[in-house]
C-alpha cells in the first residue's frame, strides 16, 4: 500500500491497519518491541509530540518500509 504522508495521522493509520492485519493488540506489540501501549496508541492517532525515531521503530517492527522521495524527480 503506497500512501502520501501529509501529517502524522497518515502514518499512524498505516501502522494501525498493519498491526490489525497481523492480529496484534497494542499490548502484544508493546511487549514485542519494548514500547508502551500508550505510545503505540498515540502514534496510531497521529499525536504530534511522539518522536520520529519511535515512529520509524514501530513501522520497522511491523514490516512497513518508510520511503522519502522528492516530488517531480
Cell matching residue 51 = 518522536
In order of start, what are the domains of the chain with their CATH numbers?
8-61 (1.10.260.40)
Q: What is the pTM of this model?
A: 0.80
Band of pLDDT at residue 1, cut at 50, 70 and 90: low
Give per-residue pLDDT as tens, 7-48.
888 899 999 999 999 999 999 999 999 999 999 999 999 988
Amino acid at each position: 500500500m503506497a500512501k502520501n504522508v501529509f501529517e502524522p495521522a497518515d502514518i499512524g493509520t498505516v501502522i494501525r491497519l498493519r498491526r490489525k492485519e497481523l492480529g496484534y493488540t497494542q499490548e502484544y506489540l508493546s511487549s514485542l518491541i519494548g514500547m508502551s501501549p500508550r505510545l503505540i496508541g498515540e502514534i496510531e492517532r497521529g499525536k504530534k509530540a511522539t518522536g520520529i525515531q519511535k515512529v520509524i521503530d514501530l513501522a520497522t517492527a511491523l514490516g512497513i518500509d518508510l520511503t522519502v522521495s522528492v516530488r517531480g524527480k
